[in-house]
Amino acid sequence: MTFDTLGLSADLLRTVGEEGYTTPTPVQAAAIPVVLEGRDVLAAAQTGTGKTAAFVLPILDRLRHHANSSFSPARHPTRVLILVPTRELAMQVDESVRTYGRTVPLRSAVVYGGIPMDPQIKVLRAGVEILVATPGRLLDLVGQRVANLGQVEILVLDEADRMLDMGFLPDIRRIIELLPPRRQNLMFSATFSDEIRRLSRTILHDPATVEVAPRNTAGEDIRQLVYPVDRDRKEALLAHLIRKEDLRQVLVFTRTKLAASRLASVLDRQGLEAVAIHSDRTQPERTRALEGFKNGDIRVLVATDVAARGLDIEDLPHVVNFELPWNPQDYIHRIGRTGRAGATGDAISLVSIDEVDLLRGVQRLLRRAIPWTVEEGFVPDRNAEPQPLRHLRPRAGGHPHHKPLRARASAGGARRRR
Ligand code: AMP
């Protein structure tokens, strides 16, 4: 299949060709024609599936007749609102709008929190047709009477599941009340939870559903592996694996900011260039860390789930779960960072005895067992007692049960007491 059959105009097809895209990704093939028709869309697609182009390209085509060279801000009202959960994703989507829209003379802008508002105010006052925004900052700008959403024709909710996880639902509802009732709505979400379906029913009208990957399954081109290990040996095992396998560009997940900072400094002290990226970092610090990681100066990027959301790193070869996430769906988000756009990737999980229940939750969601291996020299202590997980969230259930991991470690053969 080629892009030519999707109904996009010639200059956009040329842009796509110049970007080196030869074949539309499944979400692009399914979504572009329906968005062009003006229909609402509910699409299940993770970052890395080409979803940004799937909505940006047809939106550019639908809006191009509004392009004009007037200096009057009134001639450039906001016609498209793209809501995203994080600053990183906002920056990436904005970049995609500029890239894909380089031949279309519409104005675009991005607004997100954590940086001064004045430059954003200046840009919005001049008038922009396409606005990419995080919800909180957008509402601040509406409050200041700088952003006017009364002429929005198309609303995009990108990574809607993450927006709900981050507690943006009230903000989203307030924003929607400011939009004209007649508009096109596009909702993208990595997973379709019941909550997402409920939200979609209140926002979308007769949507076309685009579900390219089966519900709640990880990409087939990602190799997954579990290493059972004692909690206090995880740092050593991770450093050992990075050295032994000569891993580069490793994205490591922890559950907390504190654990991310601590792990990054332990690895860094051992000569493995590592940086933690989390929401306490300033925007310039985060951007610098991401750039260093992309260009290979930083070997290991340690992130929490919230911070990692929306990071676009192409062909990322390795994802490590230093700690399993509380929420099994986050496991799918995390490992979605690898094996993108057809590349293969590895997703390694270091699982201690107190995480067995979390591992079970992940396997239940995936509807399959993840293969495991015991690394020589890191055999877990058979007699270890599981420690209650700190900060245990009520939905994670009661105290973890350690039997399966013990069975696994011994089934692996190399048994040794430390
Ligand atoms: P996204 O899911 O929108 O974050 O896109 C993931 C990556 O895939 C981006 O870096 C895009 O440049 C790239 N991409 C998008 N569409 C295609 C395509 N049809 N062929 C090859 N790469 C693509």
Domains in the chain: ranges and CATH: 3-211 (3.40.50.300), 222-417 (3.40.50.300)
Average of pLDDT values for 322-343?
79
- pLDDT over 70 at 395, yes or no: no
Q: Are 58 and 36 in contact (CB under 8 A)?
A: yes
47 lines ligand 1 (CB under 6 A): yes
At 112, list the tokens.
Answer: 């997100």
Tens digit of each residue's pLDDT (9 = 90 or more) over 131-163: 999 999 999 999 999 999 999 999 999 999 889
Using CA atoms, how far apart are residues 184 and 177, in angstroms rounded to an integer? 15
49 lines ligand 1 (CB under 6 A): yes
Share above pLDDT 70 across residues of the chain, in percent, rounded to a whole number:
86
Tens digit of each residue's pLDDT (9 = 90 or more) over 293-318: 888 899 999 998 877 765 656 567 89
- Rounded to the nearest whole angstrom, what is the distance from the C-alpha of residue 96 to the centroid of ligand 1? 10
Task: List the Cα angle 50/85/322 in 5-degree steps.
Answer: 80
Ligand 1: which residue has its CA nearest to atom 15? 50
Using CA atoms, how far apart are residues 397 and 49, in angstroms rounded to an integer? 33
- Rounded to the nearest whole angstrom, what is the distance from the C-alpha of residue 48 to the centroid of ligand 1? 6
- Higher per-residue pLDDT: 328 or 414: 328
Q: Are 12 and 53 in contact (CB under 8 A)?
A: no
Q: Are 319 and 337 in contact (CB under 8 A)?
A: yes
- Rounded to the nearest whole angstrom, what is the distance from the C-alpha of residue 260 to the centroid of ligand 1? 28
Give the strands of the sheet with 154-157, arranged side by side: 108-111, 130-133, 80-83, 154-157, 184-189, 41-44, 208-211
Average of pLDDT values for 199-204?
94
Q: Are 278 and 307 in contact (CB under 8 A)?
A: yes
86 lines ligand 1 (CB under 6 A): no
Q: pLDDT band at residue 407, thresholds of 50, 70 and 90?
A: very low
Using CA atoms, how far apart are residues 31 and 58, in angstroms rounded to an integer? 9
Average of pLDDT values for 89-98?
95
341 lines ligand 1 (CB under 6 A): yes
- List, in sequence order, every residue forming a beta bridge with 225; answer none if it has no partner: 348
Q: Tell me what pLDDT residue 336 has.
A: 76
51 lines ligand 1 (CB under 6 A): yes
Q: Which of 5, 8, 15, 21 to mutate to test the pocket of ligand 1 (most atoms within 8 A of CB)?
A: 21
Tens digit of each residue's pLDDT (9 = 90 or more) over 18-37: 998 888 988 999 999 999 99
Atom of ligand 1 nearest to the CA of 25: 19
Ligand 1: which residue has its CA nearest to atom 18? 21
Using CA atoms, how far apart are residues 13 and 16, in angstroms rounded to an integer? 5
- pLDDT over 90 at 366, yes or no: no
Ligand 1: which residue has its CA nearest to atom 6? 48
Using CA atoms, how far apart are residues 158 and 86, in angstroms rounded to an integer? 10
Which helix H or strand E contains 130, and what residues bound it? strand 130-133
Ligand 1: which residue has its CA nearest to atom 14? 50
- pLDDT over 70 at 38, yes or no: yes
Tens digit of each residue's pLDDT (9 = 90 or more) over 164-181: 988 899 999 999 999 999
Q: Tell me what pLDDT residue 398 has.
A: 34
Tens digit of each residue's pLDDT (9 = 90 or more) over 260-278: 999 999 999 999 999 998 7
